[in-house]
Structures are given as structure tokens and as C-alpha cells.
Structure 1
Amino acid sequence: MNQKPTLLVLAAGMGSRYGGNKQIDGFGPNGETILEYSIYDAIQAGFGKVVFIVRDEILEEAKEMFVPKMAGKIELDFVVQTLDSFVPAELKQEGRKKPFGTAHAVLCAKDAIKEPFAVINADDFYGREAFVEVGKFLSTEVKPDLNAMVGYAIQNVLSENGTVSRGVCDTNEKGQLIGMVERTSIAREGEKIVSRGENEVLEIAEDTPVSMNFWGFHQEVFQDIEEMWNEFLPANLDNLKSEFYIPTVANNLIQSGKSAFEILKGGKVWFGVTYTDDRPVVIEALKKLHAEGEYPENLWK
């Protein structure tokens, strides 16, 4: 397989807890968004195209921000996720305000992607090594029945400023993903990492792999996602807050025997912005990476 993989960026989220539009907020020394570091790392790792999933109201702003910087460096495409995307007229939900979730966002890119692709959040910093590992997997190993996820040890993906939700992974003896449970209200309590969501108290081992929504897929997955979406919609017609998530897709593919999921080892460094108080932490971390020479003084010069 010689075609370069594509990077699909989920940038349509509301950013409600953060209190602003963190997808297009500047954190780097020259006002770079977190996403620009991901795209820079993806280019270094051999990706050939970036597809942005955005809301209609930030489409023009996103184009103005990214196109001038990256023209000639990597191919760019923009896809709008709306509440009507892939929703037939008879299944439209009157009064729905919330987007349909990450797997629906991926489905919106169906016509824009014809090659193996990775999926990331716009507001997470994943680290160069993660892109190298995913790029290698998508160029050499991916198949319709073998997809991948980058695993991050839970101890490296907490926030000092509040609780977080994480997709906690179950693995088999080969280290492959066999299931994932979304755990909420996770925080460090003394020496332990504890989840206090769903009316239970659960201790989680420090090195447990979790999903930070960095996936590697064969392009045939769009067909599977669309089939699951067509079941999800009528089943959730009366639930205006229902969401269709990528982990749901992965769990379904694994349980049906359609696809195994490798857990790739590139997840060494992660930081992100869940709360406003996370902002200075991210700014400092990026400043340090520039000072250490991990990134050039200006990413796009």
C-alpha cells in the first residue's frame, strides 16, 4: 500500500466545559493552536492530507486560520457536521441541539476520504511518537479486519484541575483491544487513581491503557459506521441527547468479529484542555518543547 494516510480532525465539538472555542484558541509561543502541532507531527510522519470536521459557524474562521499557513505543505479539506448530516427527513429530531457525537462526525467525512486514515480530537496534544506509530500502521498493516487505537497510560492523561472521563480499555493476551468502558469522574486521590462515576468507586491501575480518541482505520470502516448509524438513529429517536461514539463502533466491530484492534504503543506524551485552568499548563508544556528543539521556533516558516 503506497498511498499516504489521511488525518481526520474532529473540530466540531462545543467546548462547553472550557468556556470558549478551544479548537481555534492559541497556545503556542506564536499563537499556534494545539491542532497545529498535531498537523505538523502528521506531516513529519508521512500523512498526505488533513480533513477537518467543523461546525458551519466556525468553517470560515478555520479556513482563514489553517489554509494560509499550510498551503503547499499538505492537502486540506473541510467537511461540515450538521444535525441533518446522514439523517433522513423522517428521522429528524425536532428540538435537538447537541451534535450526534464522534462516530457521526467520522461518518460525515465518508465522501472526503478514500484511503486509510487516523482520527484525532482538535484540542488534544498527542506527541510526535503517536503519529509515527499510527502512520506506520496505516501504511503497512491496516486491513478491513485490523484497525488500531493509540493507548495512553491513565496516569499520563489526568487533569490537575478537575475530574476527567476516559475510555478505559480491556485487552487480550496479544495486547489487542477487546472492549472499552467510558469511566467518568476520574481523578488522582492520594496515591490512587479513582473513578467515582456511575454510582461506584473504582480504583484504576496506573498503567491501564485508555483511549484519547486517536484511532487508525481502514477506509472500509465507513460502510460499517453507516450501517451502525442507520440502526442508532431510529433506536434513539426520542432521546435528544443521545450520541454515537467511536468506541461504540470499535466495540461492535470487535464483538461481531469483523475487526481486531491493535493498541499502538506511541502514547507517551499527552496534554489537553478540559478546563480553563488547564490553559497555562499547556502553554508552558509547549514552550518547553520549543526550547528543547522538539519543534522549530516557527512551525510553518
Structure 2
Amino acid sequence: MLDTWNHNNYFRRMKPTLLILAAGMASRYGSMKQVDGFGPNNETIIDYSIYDAVRAGFGKVCFIIREEFLESFKGIFEPKLKGVVETDYIFQTFDLTKYGIDKQIERQKPWGTGHAVLEAAGKVNEPFCVINADDFYGYDAFKKMADFLTNEVSDEKYSLIGYEVDKTLSEHGAVSRGICLVNSEGNLQEINERTKVYAKDGVIVFEDESGKTTPLHDDARASMNFWGFTPAVFEQTKPLFKAFVEENESNPKAEFFIPLMAEALTKSGTAVFKVIPTSSKWFGVTYKEDKPIVQESLSKLVEDGTYPSKLWK
């Protein structure tokens, strides 16, 4: 067993891995939005994330997918990424035996984002970050995460990217956002889910069930599911997932989300989560109606020179 200094120094010599959560069925979108084209040459949102990650210093990309998606993903991404970055594919399945659960639980979909991360155990052996397939995060976020995973991360110190709330809003109504409560050391204390966040008279507010609005602090940060870990997180959270499944085996909609992992690790003192602020603008796609908005946003980024007109030449 490596001592702590050698263990962390070992991580410093490794390029981090990008873990992309892409196993969802995208029921609200109506098709597989993970591989839908949004860029001027039909690039997916994932293409832009990988492009930024490679520039930022990531050395490998792992896709968390359903097994039936494999040939589709390989057909889309392997021709582009061959010789650019190492790729791998990890399946999110319904098999719970690896978590010490010897029963079959019938569900229509797997157990959520936290479960998806755990499926990478034994396959990701270096510091890594986790992102959604259908979210655009921006280069600044990837660069800051890469720097953290190269220089600061340890088995007791993880991270998440904190977005300026106004850079995550929609022009078409209120949004749900996980608002980070950050302590004086810059570490996460808790994430509060605010279901109705929007701009009102130039101020960002959230609205409760009674209709009362409360302003958010100017420096409030939103979590958009962009997390940094070491492989130690697999063993740290495996018991949490097992307990969650046992408590929710009769609830087909229960999901083990990454923020539940973070909350448990923080409260137990197992690890702290540094909230890394970014100036990047986030945008994502949930419904078909979002597609032209995302296309327009990417077109503007190409026009201003942030990205080339053709990502993979």
C-alpha cells in the first residue's frame, strides 16, 4: 500500500480521465440526444466536451452507456477520436451482485448517476471527472478541473465545478438548479435543490411552493453535475449504494444521484469537495424545443473563434 505522499504523487504523473454519463434514454427529448447533431458539421455536444477536455490535458475518455448503444457510439466517435485520445466504453447494467446484492430488482432504467459512476470501478484507475453527455460546460471549466485533478486531488479531497447561476438560466422560463452552500474554505457544505430559479427585475431569485421569491446571493454557485474524484470514491460509496438499493427496492423511480454521494462523504468526514468557480456559460438540452437554442449558441461560439468550424479534421 502506498503511503499518502507517494499515493498522491503517483496521481500527479497521470493524465486525468473524462467520464461521460450517456446511458439515459432521453425520453423527454424523444430520441438519443447524446448523439444528436448540434454543431455546424453535425457535431454532438459530447464532441465539444471532448475537444475541450483534450485541450485541457485529459488523456482518456470513458463513455458510460447501455450495452445496446455500443455500436452506435463507436460508429460516431471512433473515426473522429482515433489518434486524438484513448477511448473506452463502460456499461451501466441492472446487475447488482457486484455490490453485494443477491436479488434481481425489476426496473425500467438503472439506478441513477451515482450508480453510473460506480460502474467504472476497476476500469478507471486514475483521477477522473464526471459530466453529463447532454450538457455544454465550456473550456474554462475543463481546464480548471484538469488542473485540480493534476495538482490537488486526493482520496480525501474531491471537487465540483460551480457555475455562476445567471450563466445557467433559460430565456424560456424557470429552471431547477442545485445551489451550492460553500464554507469559508471554499468547500461544499450542502447542495440545495431550487426548483424554480429565474431572473426577476435584474435579480436572480428562487420561488418556493407558496410562490414566495427569495434572492440568491450574487456569488451563488450552481452545480451542473461536473465532479472530480480519485478511484477511492468507488469503495467509499459502494456501501452507500447498497444501503440505498435495499431501502428503495420497491420504488422503481428511486435514483442514487451523485449529490447524495457527496452529501454522505461530506457529512461523514470521509472527503471534502472543493467548489471550483468557473466563468464558463453552461447550456443543455432536455426537450426537442431546446435544439435550435443550442445550435444557435454553438454557432455563435464558432463565429467568435472559440471553436473551429470543424472540430475534427
- Which interval holds the TM-score relative to the shorter structure? over 0.9
Q: Calculate the TM-score normalised by the size of structure 1.
A: 0.94
1:195/1:82 CA distance change after superposition, 3 Å: farther
Deviations 1:37-66 (A, max 9, x none): 000000001101000001223221111100
**Shift, 1:117, TM fit:** 0.2
CA RMSD of aligned residues (A): 1.8
Counterpart amino acid of residue 143 in structure 2: V
Q: Is the 8 A contact 1:153 1:208 kept in 2?
A: yes
What corresponds to 1:235 in structure 2? 247
Match of 1:51 among 53, 62, 67: 62
Superposition pairs of residues 250-265 of structure 1, within 5 angstroms: 250-265=262-277
CA distance in 1, matches of 2:80, 2:254: 37
1:196/1:17 CA distance change after superposition, 3 Å: farther
What corresponds to 2:223 in structure 1? 211
1:196/1:276 CA distance change after superposition, 3 Å: farther
Q: Specify the SS of the correspondent of 2:108.
A: coil
Q: Is the 8 A contact 1:91 1:234 kept in 2?
A: no
Q: Specify the SS of the correspondent of 1:150.
A: strand
Match of 1:182 among 186, 193, 203: 193
Note if 1:167 corresponds to 2:175: no
Counterpart amino acid of residue 299 in structure 1: L
> Please, which moves more after superposition, 226-235 or 35-44?
226-235
CA distance in 2, matches of 1:87, 1:258: 20
CA distance in 1, matches of 2:220, 2:85: 35
**Shift, 1:78, TM fit:** 0.5
CA distance in 1, matches of 2:196, 2:287: 14
The count of residues paired between Structure 1 and Structure 2 equals 300
**Shift, 1:15, TM fit:** 1.8
Match of 1:16 among 14, 27, 33: 27
Q: Is the 8 A contact 1:114 1:219 kept in 2?
A: yes
- Give percent identity, aligned residues only: 48
**Shift, 1:153, TM fit:** 1.4
Return 5+ residue gaps in structure 2 as ranges. Answer: 1-11
Q: Specify the SS of the correspondent of 2:277.
A: strand
CA distance in 2, matches of 1:81, 1:257: 29
Q: Specify the SS of the correspondent of 2:254.
A: coil
**Shift, 1:291, TM fit:** 1.5
1:239/1:204 CA distance change after superposition, 3 Å: farther
What corresponds to 1:270 in structure 2? 282
Deviations 1:208-237 (A, max 9, x none): 111000011112111112121111111111
Counterpart amino acid of residue 181 in structure 1: N
Match of 1:83 among 85, 88, 94: 94
CA distance in 1, matches of 2:14, 2:229: 14
Q: Specify the SS of the correspondent of 2:111.
A: coil
**Shift, 1:189, TM fit:** 4.3
Q: Specify the SS of the correspondent of 1:91.
A: coil
What corresponds to 2:301 in structure 1? 289
Runs of 4+ in 1 over 6 A off after TM superposition: none
Note if 1:119 corresponds to 2:130: yes
1:274/1:190 CA distance change after superposition, 3 Å: farther
Q: Is the 8 A contact 2:221 2:277 kept in 1?
A: no
Match of 2:121 among 110, 121, 130: 110
> Please, which moves more after superposition, 151-160 or 120-129?
151-160
What corresponds to 2:166 in structure 1? 155
CA distance in 2, matches of 1:265, 1:168: 13
What corresponds to 2:38 in structure 1? 27
Deviations 1:61-90 (A, max 9, x none): 111100111011100001111222546564
Return 5+ residue gaps in structure 1 as ranges. Answer: none
1:226/1:200 CA distance change after superposition, 3 Å: farther
